[in-house]
Amino acid sequence: MPNIKIFAGNSHPELAQRIAQRLGTEPSKVVLKKFANQETCVEIGESVRGEDVYILQSGCGEVNDHLMEMLIMIHACKIASAERVTAVIPCYPYARQDKKDKSRAPISAKLVANMLSVAGADHIITMDLHASQIQGFFDIPVDNLYAEPAVLKWIKENIENWRECVIVSPDAGGAKRVVSIADRLNVNFALIHKERAVANEVQRMTLVGDVDNKAAIIVDDLADTCGTVCKAAEKLKEAGAKAVYAVMTHGVFSGPALERVMGSCIEAIVVSNTIPQHEKIAICPKIQAIDVSSIIGEAIRRTHNGESVSYLFGNVPL
């Protein structure tokens, strides 16, 4: 059986280190640098002939540079005769551009899927895609892992009287995710309907459901500028919520996000480490990070050994 080789891009070397540690190995040698004209240069530092290669790169930070870096790494391994190349993308770039919602709008998530396939990826492992149908943009296998088991674990361990809480979706699109978590905790759920005038700016919000004198937990897949989640928290407080928490899979925190979170009535905003969070936690102590390296590491191990990955959809590996 070929050996596992894990290569880390520049977006999140710490997560790659944790995953490699879980698998009892070290990240493989690769030199990533830029030429004077800012072109990306990749040098794979060891043989990958006949090996099972996993390239980890998250869609965060300088997204375009990191995407290009990953494509070049996939291509480099493929033409160096790797047996199989799997792109491990904890946070999928351009995931929000997944449909043609106005005239002449691009479907950039599909373009990224095409680029990964053409570069030579044989398999994709990602986590909590913004829209599950992005899997259909690929003609190669895609494993969309869920942070949900880790989120349930956090709620049970950190929220007193969690049996009395209400799980809240900040928009209609996240209703399915929220219903799934509420069912597994056996609690009620609520929904906030929002209307936007322009992208990233929410105009009006309406709460559907009862949160009076209960802890409200807002659940979504992405915390970007945090305008929606902070406004939703205010709305929940107005409706009589005892405490408001937010749980998001991907903590992007761009623009004024950290100031908004600090100035909001949210007790804690919990994100996974699909994107590096150390610097943000230092600035904003309300942010807490859940480690998902065990889920991704176990998915890699199961993929390598030809085992089923579906166990991870409902359980956190030990």
Q: Residues, the chain, total?
A: 318
Q: Residue 4 and residue 19: Cα distance in Å, rounded?
A: 12
pLDDT digits (tens, 9 = 90+) for 215-263: 999 999 999 999 989 999 999 999 999 999 999 999 999 999 999 999 9
How are beta strands 215-223 and 166-169 bridged, if at all? parallel
Could you say which residues of the chain have pLDDT below 70? Answer: 1, 196-197, 200-203
- The amino acid occupying position 300 is I
Please report how the helices 293-305 and 13-22 are oriented relative to each other, as an axis angle in degrees rounded to 10.
60
For residue 2, CA distances in Å to 5, 50, 272 come to 9, 6, 31
- The amino acid occupying position 255 is G
User: Please, is 122 exposed, middle or buried when counting C-beta atoms within 10 Å of its C-beta (0-12, 13-18, 19+)?
Assistant: middle
Q: What is the pLDDT of residue 171?
A: 87
Buried/exposed code over 84-96 (b: 16+ C-beta within 10 A; e: otherwise): bbbbbbbbbbbbe
pLDDT digits (tens, 9 = 90+) for 121-133: 999 999 999 999 9
Q: What is the pLDDT of residue 197?
A: 67
Angle 246-255-152 (CA atoms, 0-180°, nearest 5)? 20
